Amino acid sequence: MDEQARIMQALGGVSLAGHSVQGGMALPPPHGHDGSDGDGRKQDIGDILHQIMTITDQSLDEAQAKLVHFFNLNVNIVFIRGAQEEDSPDPQLMRLDNMLLAEGVSGPEKGGGSAAAAAAAAATGSPTDNSIEHSDYRAKLSQIRQIYHTELEKYEQACNEFTTHVMNLLREQSRTRPISPKEIERMVSIIHRKFSSIQMQLKQSTCEAVMILRSRFLDARRKRRNFSKQATEILNEYFYSHLSNPYPSEEAKEELAKKCSITVSQGVGTTITVAQVSNWFGNKRIRYKKNIGKFQEEANLYAAKTAVTAAHAVAAAVRPSQTNSPTTPNSGKLKSESPFKLHSQQEKQYKSGGIET
């Protein structure tokens, strides 16, 4: 490959080929640069740096001879292209910048992507649970961030070195033909723009890596955990003791979530949220309604359990006075024909003749 082609390639663009994040999270190739855009697009940053350093190491005369030829051939074309591409704020670049900033990849360090981790927590309805997964997420995001900054630094360094080199050559060339400062300035800005487009590819790759990371870690279905036995028992106890109206209030849900979390945190180190309690009751109501027969045994079991608990409580409470009055709803054997009170929405439908019971 001759020098002219090399320089053209250096200005053409690179990808992040060869870099990967620990754990198999490879940075994907940027869109539109999967090889269809010429071999130069696949050039690794290391090769670019090597080329630049090779040029720099050459004797000035040798490099000058080649570059003078290159500039004489291409400078007009580059100027025309440069004028066409000039001064248009790229919305794509702005989007990428905003996203990298929001994810905590660019900009000041936010604890390795704590903003995104917080968003993840919010998305799953829990600020504190899944802490193991989130710390893993943060670690991976931190790796992406590190690679991004390393590459960015390399690009900037390469850009500066290349600019300096070109400036030196132009100065050398100015001995043989007049070169105005404006011309040099223009050439520098063209080089900077070319390197900016390389940076954009880096940003795009980084954004894609973050997206993949997010989808992998934040898809809640993937990390579904069964509730502990104790937590399920607490929820079931409430459900069957309120079978006539298994719609816990917001306070009751919070209370249940707290109770379940206490029992769960002893073993697993996670919590159960109000949203999860809502999910649980939603699922339970539907599944109970769909197959009352199947749940009858379970219902009887919990009803008996509740009755025993209530009896003990009552016995303890009334022992001095020896009175006898059960306080727990649905104590004793359950009536299967009345699963639970209709939800207000269903109640309306029922009243209007829309539902048969």
Nearer to DNA, 258 or 289 (CB): 289
226 is a contact residue toward DNA (CB under 7 A): yes
- Angle between helix axes 274-290 and 292-318 (nearest 10 degrees) is 120
Q: In whole angstroms, how close is the CB of 120 to DNA at the nearest point?
A: 10
59 is a contact residue toward DNA (CB under 7 A): no
Q: In whole angstroms, how close is the CB of 293 to DNA at the nearest point?
A: 12
Tokens 């199947």 label which residue? 294
Nearer to DNA, 197 or 230 (CB): 230
Tell which positions 331-350 bind DNA, by CB under 7 A: 343, 345-346, 348-349
Tell which positions 79-138 bind DNA, by CB under 7 A: 123-125
Task: Please pick, from the candidates 283, 327, 336, 338, the single residue that binds DNA as defined by CB under 7 A.
Answer: 283
225 is a contact residue toward DNA (CB under 7 A): yes
Task: Please pick, from the candidates 31, 95, 171, 287, the single residue that binds DNA as defined by CB under 7 A.
Answer: 287
CA proximity to 236, closest of 226, 246, 250: 246
Q: How does 266-280 read in b/e, with b if 16+ C-beta sit within 10 Å?
A: eeeebbbbbebbbeb
CA distance 129 to 320: 46
Nearer to DNA, 17 or 119 (CB): 119
Enumerate the H helices of the chain as residue ranges: 3-12, 45-57, 60-85, 91-102, 114-123, 131-173, 181-218, 229-241, 250-265, 274-290, 292-318, 344-351
Binding mask 228-257 for DNA (x = CB under 7 A): ----x--------------x--x-------
Nearer to DNA, 154 or 285 (CB): 285
Nearer to DNA, 98 or 266 (CB): 266
Nearest 5 degrees, angle CA 327-CA 333-CA 334?
90
What stretch of H or E contains 20?
Answer: strand 20-21
Stretch that binds DNA, among 60-68, 154-162, 181-189, 284-292 (CB under 7 A): 284-292
Task: Please pick, from the candidates 42, 154, 186, 285, the single residue that binds DNA as defined by CB under 7 A.
Answer: 285
Q: In whole angstroms, how close is the CB of 242 to DNA at the nearest point?
A: 12
Task: Please pick, from the candidates 4, 197, 278, 309, the single residue that binds DNA as defined by CB under 7 A.
Answer: 278
Q: Alpha-carbon torsion 167, 168, 171, 172, what sign?
A: negative
CA proximity to 25, closest of 187, 158, 185, 208: 208
CA proximity to 195, closest of 163, 219, 241: 163
Residues in the site for DNA, rule: CB under 7 A?
A: 123-125, 219-227, 232, 247, 250, 276, 278-283, 285-287, 289-290, 294, 343, 345-346, 348-349
